[in-house]
A and B are shown apart, each in its own frame.
Chain A
Amino acid sequence: DVKVTQSSRYLVKRTGEKVFLECVQDMDHENMFWYRQDPGLGLRLIYFSYDVKMKEKGDIPEGYSVSREKKERFSLILESASTNQTSMYLCASSFVAEPNTEAFFGQGTRLTVV
C-alpha cells in the first residue's frame, strides 16, 4: 500500500515562528505536493516538486517555501507564521508518467497559529 506520512497531526504555533511541516512517501513517486484546505475554498495548491531540488509555485505560494533534498521527503516551511495560515495542510505524491498519475494523500496536519 502507498503510504504518505505527515510528521504531525496537530500543531499550535505562535505568530512569527518559523514552522516546518514534513512529509515522507514510500512509493518512489517523482511528484510531491503541498495543499491547504479551508472550508468553502476546497484544496488549494501551495507548491509542488517533480524531482529532487526542483519546485514550482502553485496557486497560493506567498508566505511559504519548500525543500526537497531527497526523493521521498518534501518539506513545507512557513517563514514567519501568521494567523491567516491557520489551516489544514495536506501532502500528496504521485508518479509523473501516465496513466498512473493519481495522487495519494497523507493524513493531514491541522495547524493553528495563535
Chain B
Amino acid sequence: GQQLNQSPQSMFIQEGEDVSMNCTSSSIFNTWLWYKQDPGEGPVLLIALYKAGELTSNGRLTAQFGITRKDSFLNISASIPSDVGIYFCAGHTGGGNKLTFGTGTQLKVEL
C-alpha cells in the first residue's frame, strides 16, 4: 500500500531547540493528521487539518496543511525531553475509509 514520504527519518536535537518535519505525497488529501507515538504505546492524535492552507496550533505544536494539498508540516517549538517519540503524518483522500500513513520521524532530545 501507499505510504507518505516523511522526513527526516530521525532527529537528535538539544532541549530547547525548535523542530520541523514534513510529509509529502503524490496524491491530494482532504485531511492531514499528525500523531505521536511513545514507546510501547498506540499513536495519539496531536493535530487534525481539514482545509488547504490551514495553520493549526496545539500548545508548542503547529501544523500546516499545504496549499497544494499534497504536503503538510509539523513544527515543535522549544523541545523538551517528553517530546521524544515517533511522529507520524497521515492523510485521508475522501470517498474512502482508509488513512495513508507516513513512515514516521523518530525524535530524540538531548538534555
**Chain A residues within 8 Å of B, Cβ to Cβ:** 4, 6, 31, 33, 42-45, 48, 50, 56, 58-59, 90, 92, 94, 96, 98-99, 101-108, 110
Contacts and interface: CB of A to CB of B under 8 A. Distances in A.
Interface in B70-90: 88, 90
Interface in B53-108: 88, 90, 92, 94, 97-99, 101-104
Nearest to A101: B92
Nearest to B44: A105
A44 B90 contact: no
Contacts of A58: 1, 98
A33 B35 CA distance: 16
B31 A102 contact: yes
Contact of B40 (A45, A98, A106, A108): A108
B23 interface: no
A43 B88 contact: yes
SS of A interface (majority): strand
Contact of A103 (B3, B94, B99): B99
Contacts of A56: 97
Contacts of A96: 97
A48 B97 contact: yes
A42 B42 contact: no
Interface string B1-38: 10100000000000000000000000000110101000
A99 to B, nearest CB: 4
B30 A103 contact: no
Most buried by B among A6, A31, A103: A103
B94 A102 contact: no
Contacts of B97: 31, 48, 50, 56, 94, 96, 101
